[in-house]
Amino acid sequence: MAHQNNEELIYELIIEDLEETIAIEDKMILQKWRTADAANERTYLEFLNVQASIDKLYGANGNADASWEVLDKKLSIPENPTFKIRVKKLNIGFYLRIAAVLLLVSSLGYYFMAQGKYAVISTSGTANVTRIVLPDETIVNLNAGTKIRYNKENFLFDRDLEVLSGEVFIQVVKHAGGQFKVIAGDVEAEDIGTSFNVKNENGNVSVTVEEGKVALKHEGTNQKLLLSAGKMGTFNSSTKRLALADNSDLNYKSWLDKRFNFDGMVLSKVAAQLEEVYQVPVVVRGNVLNNRKFTVANLHYQTIDSALAVISASLQCKITREKGTYVLSDN
């Protein structure tokens, strides 16, 4: 019974962790539980997996802009004949209570509003991909260990997004407001197109364009690059140099879509990429197996088990789990 209760408590903590409402002391309890046993960590990852899958259902349908256009027309009809929902009568007391709250808010609210004009979103080092929609409907996907910030009060006029650390994939929407701009370390990336990936590792920045065009600038040295689809721009924080190259990394956004293309890549590197994306340790045993080459187009699985199953079947090797680590070895 006690065991059952403990299990329920831990599950509650995992859910609070996913909701990012967990208290610091509870987070420590959860962390301790996770590291105590590989099975615990597996349970935690399974909860994450449930959340990630639910998130996919969340994003499956619906477009706010298109929907508003339809609603806007409906609202222009004075009395909607298809109106179905019954409404209750006005409750004067409610408005009196609001008036009381309004007085309270107007006297206290400004301080908090001025302090909190920025929306800061950060993901933990083990978080799943987090998708957020900015006020202008631009979609930003955050990799684990990422921190971004924007001015929530003024964003529709000044569309600046700061990538303070980590990695994001951005799908910018057309908007009547200012040009969408990403600030990462010392460089600025101005969107002239649609979607691109930004990575900021201690001030070393890389921008990879999927669609459209992006202008990459370093104000300090007045350097500027124009990146088109398939190009990658990098900024080296030590040399302060911007550089342009063709993007040769087929898997630059596999952290987001979990799609991989391997073209004769040695298994040790394949394992390293899978490890980074799924955030689970993967080890390849034996020199021969480490250097075997693996080729596959569009490997696409939400869980590492399925991805490894394909590798195992292709290379005829064995998968085992040892204390939370996936081990690939010869049969």
The nearest distance, CB 190 to another protein, in angstroms, is: 25
Q: Using the minimum distance from each CB to another protein, give the nearer residue, 81 or 220.
A: 81
Tokens standing for residue 40:
């615990």
Tokens standing for residue 15:
């859910």
Amino acid sitting at position 74 = K
Q: Using the minimum distance from each CB to another protein, give the nearer residue, 25 or 84.
A: 84
Q: How far is CA 189 from the centre of its chain?
A: 19
SS3 4: helix
The nearest distance, CB 10 to another protein, in angstroms, is: 10
The nearest distance, CB 201 to another protein, in angstroms, is: 30
Tokens 């991805």 locate to 307
Q: Give the residues lining the site for another protein (CB under 8 A).
A: 8, 11-12, 14-15, 19, 21, 46-47, 49-51, 53-54, 56-58, 60-62, 64-65, 67-68, 70-72, 74-75, 79-80, 82-85, 87-91, 94, 97-98, 100-102, 105, 109, 133, 135, 137, 300-303, 305-306, 309-310, 313-314
The nearest distance, CB 22 to another protein, in angstroms, is: 11
Tokens 């298994």 locate to 267
Q: Using the minimum distance from each CB to another protein, give the nearer residue, 23 or 245.
A: 23
Q: Using the minimum distance from each CB to another protein, give the nearer residue, 91 or 222.
A: 91
The nearest distance, CB 179 to another protein, in angstroms, is: 21
Residues linked to residue 158 through DSSP beta bridges, in sequence order: none
DSSP 132-186: EE-TT--EEEE-TT-EEEEETTTTTTS-EEEEEEEEEEEEPPP-SSSPPEEEETT
CA angle 227, 231, 236 (to 5 degrees): 80
Q: Using the minimum distance from each CB to another protein, give the nearer residue, 79 or 246.
A: 79
Q: Using the minimum distance from each CB to another protein, give the nearer residue, 196 or 260.
A: 260
The nearest distance, CB 150 to another protein, in angstroms, is: 15
CA-to-CA separations, 147 to 99, 122, 123, 166, 293, in angstroms, rounded? 38, 4, 6, 6, 36
